């Protein structure tokens, strides 16, 4: 006798087979992270004299940092290339010039030997100055090369003591290189001045600032940041926009990063074939103090200067990032055969990015504000599939087939149920 469980299993298997046969996607998404190098992380630790203070869970700041580092080293994913850099660890004297050069690579960025790294951390003793700016410059060099994600995690208990080399300006210069490097900062037992500086450093590269007052908080946060570095990411490609369309770089679908000066315009070019659609978006971040009101414009114009479409956005100081976007479908050519070469029939679309941020008093205007541009050129709705003639798109076609499969499955279930009852009555 056929049991209800076996009957249900058979029907579900049949239904699954029907669905599997018709639900194969028409196109596969490209894996943009498949060819990325291993992620790199440089932990930059403040070992200045103030790290002797005993105000974290009854122990010194240095002891808390060592304990956190040991636990982080144990939990670091195998694929992460991790290094440790120190600042203020070696020079105990009063010579400011020497003190501001006191940064060294304690453990090189590369495959992690946990025992060696822990041994190196155990030797640290709070010593000297707080040269955050120089340490960040060196850490950026530590992470040089490769196309994987790069992250600096800075742990400090005080503001930089090596002015006029402003660490905020250093962070902006690092971000302006377009190497996809993020700086996250953690402040141990922070004061207001330190909080402002460490927040500024993080914001300049799209990183985060965290205030820490307990050892477990420090361990958890550093672990989170190291794990985040191991997540696959799409690293924007650095590009230099021009001041006119004729000199602008030609872009394809992808993610790009650039810098735009105050009062400046940036131009880019994209080729769009007939029957295809251009989708573009842009974001500009205020990585320093700016005026309270600002706007952003993204215009698509022809090579001759005629405006096609535009996207606009405004802000009032309540956010650090402003974004806008646009879509432009290029009409199909009429009376063309399937074998017609459309490459020569495409249109060059010029994209102009303009923002109206204004710098606050005393703020440096260089490098320009960070700009991120997303370009996507896709088949338009009329060219995507013959199914589009329904006017409902590919998703509705699939839904209709699923409904039909469900109907057939229901009929089959009813027939088998009646057959089972008939067999049971005859027995």
Instruction: Return the pLDDT at 4.
Output: 40
Give pLDDT < 50 ranges for the chain.
1-31, 335-342, 383-394
**In the numeric block, which tokens belong to residue 294?**
């600002």
CA dist 90 → 82, 337, 379 (Å): 22, 74, 60
Instruction: Return the pLDDT at 206.
Output: 86
Q: What is the CATH number of domain 237-379?
A: 2.60.120.380
Instruction: Return the pLDDT at 146.
Output: 85
pLDDT in tens, 374-410: 999 998 765 444 433 444 444 556 667 777 777 777 7
Q: What is the CATH number of domain 40-230?
A: 3.40.50.410
Instruction: Return the pLDDT at 240.
Output: 94
Question: Backbone phi, then psi, for 328, in 5-degree steps?
Answer: -140, 105
Which residue ranges make up each domain of the chain? 4-26+393-426, 40-230, 237-379
| Dihedral (CA of 306, 246, 283, 289) sign | negative
pTM: 0.69
3-class secondary structure, 32: coil
**What's the angle, vertex CA 198, arms to CA 194 and CA 204, rounded to 5?**
150
Instruction: Return the pLDDT at 340.
Output: 44
> CB neighbours of 123 closer than 8 A, spacing ≥ 6?
none
pLDDT in tens, 174-221: 988 877 899 999 999 988 999 999 999 998 888 999 999 999 999 999
């Amino acid at each position: 006798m056929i049991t209800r469980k076996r009957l249900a299993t058979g029907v579900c298997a049949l239904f699954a087979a029907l669905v599997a046969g018709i639900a194969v996607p028409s196109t596969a998404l490209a894996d943009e992270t498949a060819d990325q190098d291993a992620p790199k992380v440089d932990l930059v630790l403040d070992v200045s004299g103030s790290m002797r203070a005993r105000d974290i869970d009854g122990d010194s700041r240095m002891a808390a940092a060592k304990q956190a580092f040991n636990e982080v080293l144990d939990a670091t994913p195998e694929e992460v290339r991790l290094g440790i850099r120190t600042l203020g660890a070696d020079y105990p004297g009063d010579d400011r010039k020497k003190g501001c050069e006191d940064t060294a690579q304690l453990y090189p960025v590369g495959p992690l030997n946990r025992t060696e790294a822990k041994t190196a951390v155990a030797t640290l003793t709070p010593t000297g100055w707080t040269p955050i700016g120089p340490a960040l410059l060196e850490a950026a060099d530590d992470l040089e090369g490769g196309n994987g994600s790069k992250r600096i995690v800075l742990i400090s208990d005080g503001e930089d003591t090596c002015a006029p080399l402003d660490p905020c300006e250093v962070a902006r210069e690092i971000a302006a290189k377009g190497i996809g490097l993020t700086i996250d900062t953690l402040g141990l037992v922070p004061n207001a001045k330190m909080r402002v500086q460490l927040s500024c450093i993080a914001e300049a590269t799209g990183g985060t600032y965290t205030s820490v007052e307990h050892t477990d908080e420090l361990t958890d946060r550093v672990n989170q940041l190291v794990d985040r570095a191991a997540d696959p990411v799409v690293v924007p490609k650095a590009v230099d926009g021009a001041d006119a369309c004729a000199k602008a770089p030609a872009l394809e679908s992808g993610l790009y990063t650039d810098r735009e000066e105050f009062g400046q315009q940036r131009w880019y070019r994209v080729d769009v074939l007939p029957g295809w659609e251009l989708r573009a978006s842009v974001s500009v971040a205020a990585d320093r103090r700016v005026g309270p009101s600002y706007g952003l414009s993204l215009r698509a114009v022809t090579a001759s200067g005629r405006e096609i479409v535009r996207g606009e956005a405004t802000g009032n100081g309540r956010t650090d990032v402003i974004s806008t976007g646009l879509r432009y479908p290029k009409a199909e050519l009429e009376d063309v055969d399937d074998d017609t070469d459309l490459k020569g029939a495409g249109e060059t679309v010029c994209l102009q990015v303009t923002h109206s941020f204004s710098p606050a008093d005393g703020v440096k205007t260089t490098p320009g504000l960070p700009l991120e541009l997303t370009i996507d050129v896709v088949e338009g709705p009329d060219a995507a599939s013959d199914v589009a003639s329904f006017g409902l798109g590919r998703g509705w076609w699939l839904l209709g087939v699923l409904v039909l499969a469900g109907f057939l499955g229901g009929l089959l279930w009813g027939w088998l149920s009646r057959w089972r009852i008939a067999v049971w009555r005859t027995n």
